[in-house]
C-alpha cells in the first residue's frame, strides 16, 4: 500500500473520530438529545469499521489488545505520530 | 485506564522550519494556560465533582487535552529536529540545548518548568467549573497571540484547530455549570 493511501485512510479516521468526540462532549451535557445520540451511534459504527480496515492494512492503531497484529508484532513499527514520515 | 491511539487528533503539517515559533509554542506545552495544565486540571477535578454530566465532561475534555499536548509536542519536535546548534542559539533555545540537547521539556516559552501551581481544585463545583471556563478563555487568547506570530499555513491550521477547541470546551463547561447550579438548587443545603 502506498504512503498516500495510508494517509488518506488516517485522515478519514481523524474526521469521523472528530465528529464522534464532538458529539460525545455534546451528549455529556445533553444526554436526552436522541437525534445526536443516533448520529453518535451511526458514526461510532463507521469509525469501528475504518479502524479495523487500518489495523489490517497498516498495523495496529491502538495498543493493549484493541488492535490485533500480524507477525512480528507490528505495534513497534513507525512512523509514530510525532515523526515526519507520519 | 487510558488506551493510546497511534495517531494525532488533527494533522500537523509544518512546512517551514521556524525555531523562533518553536520557542513560543512551548507556552502551550508547559506554560500556565497550556495543554498540560488543562489535562491535569480536569482529570484531577473530576473525583470530587458531584453531577454525572460534569464527571463525564471532565473525563472526556481532560482526555482530549492529552491529545492536544501531543499535537503541541509534535510541532515543537518537528521544528527543532534538524536544527543546528547555531540556529537553536539564535532562536533563544541555546539554554535549552545546554541543559538537555534537543529533548523536549514541559516548560513555558521562557524555559520556566511546568508546575501544579498553575492549576487549582476546590471540590466546590461552581468554583472548579468557573476556573475551567476561565482556563479555556485564557488558552484561546494565547492561541490568538500565537496566530499573530506566524504566517506558516500548516502552523496556522493546527493553531486554529486548537483555538476552536477552547471555544467548544468553554461552551460545554458553561452547560455543566448550569446543570450543577440546578443540582445545588434542588438539594438546598449549604
C-alpha cell at B28: 502551550
Nearest CB partner across the interface for A61, out of B7, B60, B168:
B7
ipTM summary value: 0.96
Would you say B48 and B123 are in contact if contact means Cβ atoms under 8 Å apart?
yes
pLDDT reported for residue B76: 97
Residue whose grid cell is 536544527: B83
Residue whose grid cell is 473525583: B47
pLDDT reported for residue A2: 64
Q: What 3-state class would DSSP assign to B113?
A: strand
* Residue from B119, B151, B125 nearest B44 by CA: B119
In chain A, domain spans: 3-81
Would you say B12 and A86 are in contact if contact means Cβ atoms under 8 Å apart?
no
pLDDT reported for residue B118: 98
pLDDT reported for residue B158: 97
**Residue A57 main-chain phi, psi, to 5 deg:** -85, -40
Residue whose grid cell is 537553536: B88
Cβ separation of B168 and A64 shorter than 8 Å?
A: no
Name every residue whose Cβ is closer than 8 Å to that of residue B178 and which is 6 or more positions away in sequence: none
Local confidence pLDDT in tens for the 86 residues of chain A: 467 899 999 999 999 999 999 999 999 999 999 999 999 999 999 999 999 999 999 999 999 999 999 999 999 999 999 998 88
User: Which residue ranges in chain B fall short of pLDDT 70?
Assistant: 189-190
What residues of A are in the B interface, CB distance below 8 Å?
A: 10-11, 13-14, 17-18, 21-22, 24-26, 28-31, 60-64, 66, 75, 80-82, 84, 86
Instruction: Count Cβ neighbours within 10 Å for each residue of A29-62 and write b for 16 or more, e otherwise.
Output: beeeeeebeebbeebeebbeebbeebbeebbbbb
- Residues in chain A with CB shorter than 8 Å from the CB of B175 are 29-30
C-alpha cell at B190: 449549604
How many Å is the maximal CA-CA distance in chain B? 64
Instruction: Looking at the complex, report in whole angstroms how far the Cα of residue B3 sits from the nearest Cα belonging to chain A.
Output: 6
pLDDT reported for residue B52: 98
- Residues in chain A with CB shorter than 8 Å from the CB of B168 are 22, 25
Amino acid at each position: 500500500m502506498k504512503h498516500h493511501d495510508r494517509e488518506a485512510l488516517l485522515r478519514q479516521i481523524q474526521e469521523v473520530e472528530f465528529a464522534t468526540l464532538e458529539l460525545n462532549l455534546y451528549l455529556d451535557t445533553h444526554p436526552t438529545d436522541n437525534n445526536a445520540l443516533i448520529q453518535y451511534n451511526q458514526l461510532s459504527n463507521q469509525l469501528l469499521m475504518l479502524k479495523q480496515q487500518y489495523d489490517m492494512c497498516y498495523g495496529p492503531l491502538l495498543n493493549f489488545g484493541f488492535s490485533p497484529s500480524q507477525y512480528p508484532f507490528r505495534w513497534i513499527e513507525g512512523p509514530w505520530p510525532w515523526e515526519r514520515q507520519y | 485506564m487510558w488506551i493510546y491511539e497511534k495517531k494525532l487528533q488533527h494533522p500537523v503539517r509544518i512546512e517551514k522550519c521556524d525555531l523562533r515559533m518553536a520557542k513560543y509554542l512551548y507556552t502551550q506545552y508547559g506554560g500556565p494556560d497550556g495543554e498540560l495544565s488543562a489535562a491535569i486540571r480536569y482529570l484531577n477535578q473530576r473525583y470530587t465533582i458531584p453531577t454525572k454530566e460534569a464527571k463525564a465532561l471532565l473525563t472526556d475534555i481532560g482526555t482530549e487535552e492529552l491529545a492536544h499536548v501531543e499535537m503541541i509536542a509534535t510541532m515543537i519536535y518537528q521544528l527543532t529536529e534538524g536544527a543546528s546548534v547555531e540556529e537553536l542559539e539564535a532562536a533563544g533555545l541555546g539554554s535549552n540545548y545546554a541543559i538537555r540537547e534537543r529533548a523536549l521539556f514541559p516548560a513555558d516559552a521562557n524555559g520556566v518548568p511546568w508546575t501544579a501551581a498553575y492549576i487549582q481544585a476546590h471540590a466546590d463545583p461552581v468554583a472548579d467549573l468557573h476556573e475551567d471556563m476561565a482556563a479555556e478563555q485564557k488558552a484561546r487568547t494565547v492561541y490568538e497571540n500565537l496566530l499573530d506570530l506566524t504566517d506558516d499555513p500548516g502552523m496556522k491550521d493546527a493553531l486554529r484547530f486548537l483555538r476552536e477547541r477552547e471555544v467548544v470546551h468553554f461552551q460545554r463547561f458553561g452547560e455543566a455549570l448550569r446543570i450543577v447550579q440546578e443540582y445545588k438548587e434542588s438539594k438546598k443545603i449549604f
